[in-house]
Amino acid sequence: MELYFLGTGAGMPSKERNVTAIALTLYDERGTMWLFDCGEGTQHQMLRSPLKASRLEHIYITHLHGDHIYGLPGLLTSRSNQGGTSPLVLFGPPGLEALLEPVLRLSQAHLSYELIYREVSEGPVFEDDRFEVLCAKLDHRIDSYGYRIVEKDKAGKLDAGKLKALGIPPGPLFGRIKQGETVTLSDGTVVDGKAFIGPPIAGHKVVILGDTRKCESAVALAADADVLVHEATFDGSLNDLAQAYYHSTALDAARTARQAGAKALIMTHISSRYQEEETRLLLEEARTEFEQAWIAKDHWSFPIRP
């Protein structure tokens, strides 16, 4: 599992940063990837990356401002041209389908796959046997959401050494015991599989927020996250401007991470007033409140480890 940042700028593209798009690669877990927001030029950024649109399974849109959605028509049609045939689920706020469908229809876009719309509201928006995705409303000028991606706990490791000590050789019995079954050996010994399995392995928790001012719902959504991705449009000296435009400062992001008990903070959605060297100001400011903080940049990746 890895986060790959395709666009990390705020409002409009600059020479150093494209507008928002973040990929979560789930190649080991699902053989697919999920995309969070799709600003203008995302498909171009993807061409310069190791990512393939054909492997997209879900797209999650945080809100309907242009710097988060204007890349959708191009990416969706290019996915067809690049051989994408599997269904693609598009999650987003009310109005996303009404906004996008006329563009696809009037441009006579041909999609070689099924495009499925899922309108989001607060609460669970997706769940299967491996992942759950939850959604909460943030504090922005229009409805803006954050997504909490929870990987469900995995079964504990089998203590193979303990089984071998009982004279149980590797083979089909190992598999049954690993499933927690109770098995009877040829000599009549009854083996409780649960006694040979370690504690469950905690799954990862990743939280990706849309544009927002600092708010309690962000803190709640990010509780105990392995990684929190939070906008940091301005530095603390521009707090009044951030409040007026419903955005966050680097200090706001750091305080949210600290209050939530997150393990790592990645700041994105950086104003173009901060050129590459000037982003150090944002990072230094954030680390006064939360040490495990980073500033994302385009084509930067962050592996998510236990």
299 known ligand binder: no
240 known ligand binder: no
| DSSP single-letter state for residue 212 | -
Is the distance from CB of 258 to CB of 237 less than 8 angstroms?
no
List residues bridging with 192 in a β-sheet: 182
**C-alpha angle 279-71-205 in degrees, rounded to nearest 5:** 60
Is the distance from CB of 263 to CB of 235 less than 8 angstroms?
no
139 known ligand binder: no
Q: Collapsing DSSP states into helix, strand and coil, what is residue 12? A: coil
Q: Which amino acid is at 151?
A: E
Joined tokens for residue 219: 């803190």
44 known ligand binder: no
247 known ligand binder: no
d(CA 90, CA 96): 9
Dihedral angle sign, alpha carbons of residues 173, 176, 179, 184: negative
Catalytic residues: 67
DSSP 227-281: EEEEE--B-GGGHHHHHHTT--BHHHHHHHHHHHT-S-EEEE-B-TTS-GGGHHH
68 known ligand binder: yes
Task: Summarize the annotated binding site for Zn(2+) as residue ranges.
Answer: 63, 65, 67-68, 140, 211, 269
Binding residues, as ranges, are 63, 65, 67-68, 140, 211, 269
